[in-house]
Amino acid sequence: MRVAVVSDIHANLHALEAVLDAIDADSPDELWCLGDLVGYGPRPNEVIEIVREQARLCLVGNHDLGVLGRLDLEDFTLDAAVVAQWTRTVLLDENRAYLESLASEARVEGAELYHASPRDPVWEYVIDEETALAALEVTVAPLVLVGHSHVALSISLANGELSGAVAPDGTEVPLTEARWLLNPGSVGQPRDGDSRAAWLELDFAAGKARFHRVAYDIARTQAEMAERDLPEGLAERLAHGS
């Protein structure tokens, strides 16, 4: 089976469309989404409608839960809380119901999926050695997928040895001979210095994974954010990928 994995779309419709064009060209069997469909960005309903339609599996992220009122917005940055409040005012009932139906973790044959981490599927950032090792120690599947940090990562554990790093465009990893923790990076608000939208291709039969980046019309998303009076800093950071 071949799967395309996306995460942290954050209501960035143009980034999602660019990624889906690239994914369609690759024609995988399934699309999985690791959560944070909304928050930060200007097009929450359109993004949810696409994911509802196309993803075979989808998790809920902390921003989705903040919009739903299931996490306290005081735990978010001010800009994130402002957009979560705005999102509540525009979110259609059927899209709210879809977010309500999602869980923050999932298990499939050969993989465990978490929005944030196995220890805390909603909030913990897996971004250093300690959190990566803990994530692999409390799971059993050969492959662990996480999102949340907006940084594409590939980390392996073999014979007690942890190794890995950020995973730039084109990084390919063999899924055999080690356990892997992979973060596809973010579709809608990358923070690893590459402003292009991220996605991850998994080929279970061939035993490999490949990280991809796709350019999209950042200015168009920024203009939509300005039209809706969303915080300027959130629009600016899209251009820097940070």
Task: Give 154's Cβ-side CA count (13 Å radius).
Answer: 19
When CB distances to Zn ion are compared, the closest residue is 36
Minimum CB separation from Zn ion for residue 225, in Å?
16
Cα torsion 140, 145, 149, 154: sign: positive
For position 224 contacting Zn ion by CB under 5 A, the verdict is no
| Cα separation, 48 vs 166, whole angstroms | 28
* Closest to Zn ion by CB, 5 or 175: 5
Q: Is 54 helix (H, G, I), strand (E, B) or coil?
A: helix
Longest dimension (CA), the chain: 53
Minimum CB separation from Zn ion for residue 124, in Å?
13
- Identify which of 132, 100, 129, 101 has the alpha carbon closest to the alpha carbon of residue 119: 132
Stretch that binds Zn ion, among 20-28, 33-41, 176-184, 191-199 (CB under 5 A): 33-41
Report yes or no: 106 and 59 within 8 Å, Cβ to Cβ. yes
Minimum CB separation from Zn ion for residue 84, in Å?
12
Which residue in 4, 8, 11, 202 binds Zn ion (CB under 5 A)?
8
* Binding residues among 35-74 for Zn ion as defined by CB under 5 A: 36
Minimum CB separation from Zn ion for residue 146, in Å?
11
Binding site for Zn ion (CB under 5 A): 8, 36
